Amino acid sequence: GSVRVGDSAALTREFAVRGDRLIAKSMDDRIGCAVAIEAMRALKGKNLPNTLYFVFTTQEEVGLRGARVAANAIAPDYGIALDVTATGDTPKNNSLAVRLGGGTAIKVV
């Protein structure tokens, strides 16, 4: 059939392994969640000198609505967002120092 104005569409992407890399949809969100969960496991049972919150939110792409609600409810002194960033070793994107497999990148905003 043909596509008409107003028709819905969705991209499909299968999970794939390419050497030591994983390829799948929403990996930026999933990797952030995995890192946070591992941090929670590492800190479980530790006597910390402060109150630590882990917040998993939605709607990042539409104005950080979920994160904004959590930040307003908790009112933390500091917040750390786990996300991914663009790399500079892919075509048409060679102005960044970050490269695939090059380790962690920290961005301060």
The residues carrying an active-site annotation are: 60
56-60 contacts, C-beta under 8 A, 24 or more apart: 60/29
How many residues are present in the chain? 109
Query: Which tokens go with 108?
Result: 């301060």
Q: Which of 56, 25, 24 is nearest to 39 (CA)?
A: 56
* DSSP β-bridge partners for residue 17: 22
51: burial class by Cβ within 10 Å (0-12, 13-18, 19+)?
exposed
